[in-house]
Amino acid sequence: MSPFHIDVSKLPSIENPWGPSAVTPDALQFNGVPYAPFIKTDKLGKIADWNSVKEEEQLPGKNNNLQKRRDVYHAYGASAAKLFGAETEEKGFSLVENTASSGNKQAVLNGHRNRQFQNQTGKKTTSTSTPATQASALKKKVGSAAPTKKQPITKNAAKWGGNNKWGNNRWANDEAKLKESSINVEEDWESVAEIEFNKLTKLNLEVPKSETLSTNGTIHQYLKKYENNTATPLEPVFQSTYNQTSSDDSILKNYAKTDSAKVFITDAIIAQLMCTPRASASWDIIVTKKNGKIFFDKRPNTFNLPVNENSSPVEVKESDINHPAKLELEDIETSNSFISGSLAKNSSKFSDISPVTLSSAIPKGYKYVKFNLPNGTSTDDDSQGSVPIIVRVSLDAYTYTASSNLALHSLLQYESNDWRTRFNGGAQGNIFVDEVKKNNNKLSQWATECVLGGINQIKLGFITRADPKSNASHLVAGTMTSTIDILCQQLKLSINNGWGIVKSFIDIIEHEGGDNDYRFVIFKTPNSQKVIIYKVPFDSFDF
């Protein structure tokens, strides 16, 4: 047997004996063979996966520790390989940022004009499971759905984050919680985009400071009628707020004729778009392009937000006073009474006339502000390709001077009347926390409207029934005052995220509509967390 040969020619000299050798002997090299340190059956996976879940946390029970503890943390091998799927880059429409936006990074859903859209298999995207199919099932339960003779064509829905699977939501298997659709999806509507909420929450767009073009109408001074320590009876009024849509606003139409902007919208409509991921109930917005100008509109009687929208729905009979439709009407009436009762006789008339001429409408001031939505990462007002948009903002009242404007809104309690005792007991904070959970979307839209209009303060009236079993009379339990900055912090509201959502909708619709006149419907689905954009015949609605 020959002696074992050891090459000592490359060992360090006695003058510098410490540390490893600069040359690895050939006998000690692996020659590219993967090394499995613990388990021989392990397969080679990814080098590092910092998001992988520890195997101990995946296994329920306490009796598996001895079997699974020794190979928990390595990110390669059989235990980690099963967590990885094929990673393919999404083509066509995609997020600029695939991570949550932070700082001043811009992130919108970008479209590319004249680009052929294909799915990852290389074939044109066509959906066989469409909203009309699911709406047919919904019709049997709530009585409001789409025709089912022909399914709407789904063209590029998958490119905007939709998977065309309506069953993938928390309400899908709970028939008792199905919600009513805001609009009937017609068979000739073409679905061009489906966008899930988790895509919208990642968007971000920093928009430069707005420019005030004009102030119109008459604004009254705020009256502290309901700011008492005790509950005050709510006095019914005959006036009401008038939510005039964009296409009916004579001032916006004049700005369109003078080419002052490309997009025209009201604060209530744009706030609903900006707060889309917070919505639970179904809604729809009509988008029309005519002569190069784009108007966002709401259909009549669709401006109102449900009571306790973000709480778990409760199934009640239509004859019940707590039916959602009756609660919505009650909320409108009590809100009108609170706003009208909070206005003093003192008023300030702006130089320009009001766009609302109805004598029965509660007097308000209106401000027309212009924003420039940038493209890419530039936030310069004059950046090439920016989208100018004019927003009409409502002004409810002023405190000391006409320049110190505030917003007036109210919330309704119908299941009990304990707000009165809780206000007197100093539990206003707890009441507000509960309402943030139940009416998050509503409060967020009100805060967004204030930010767009430069309003710094909001007054919230808390209205309760005198008797929970009757909707005939009401009391104002109290009023809370909040600055808009603090309210946005409490709601975790990002106006930049809202602008990213609005800019994305505009880009998608402009891409799908092209340079010609068109009409689209942005539809929040009733029982899933997604938005569908339909291209509809131009004469589908009368504006």
State pLDDT tens for residues 385-429. 789 999 999 999 999 876 789 999 999 999 998 999 888 777 888
Indicate the pLDDT class of residue 223, thresholds 50, 70 and 90.
very high
Average pLDDT over residues 332-336: 95
State pLDDT tens for residues 315-325. 888 899 999 99
Residue 424 has what pLDDT? 79
Distance CA 307, CA 309 (A): 5
Task: Report whether pLDDT(78) > 60.
Answer: no
What is the chain's percent helix, strand, coil content, to nearest 5? 25, 25, 50
Average pLDDT over residues 363-377: 90
Cα angle: 110, vertex 111, 113; to 5 degrees: 150
Task: Report whether pLDDT(175) > 70.
Answer: no
Residue 187 has what pLDDT? 92
Indicate the pLDDT class of residue 19, thresholds 50, 70 and 90.
low
Tokens for 518? 């068109």
Average pLDDT over residues 505-529: 94
Residue ranges per domain, the chain?
1-87, 211-242+314-493
Distance CA 180, CA 176 (A): 12
Task: Report whether pLDDT(41) > 50.
Answer: yes
Looking at residue 352, the DSSP 8-state letter turns out to be B
State pLDDT tens for residues 24-37. 666 666 655 655 55
Indicate the pLDDT class of residue 184, thresholds 50, 70 and 90.
very high
Residue 506 has what pLDDT? 96
pTM for the structure as a whole: 0.72
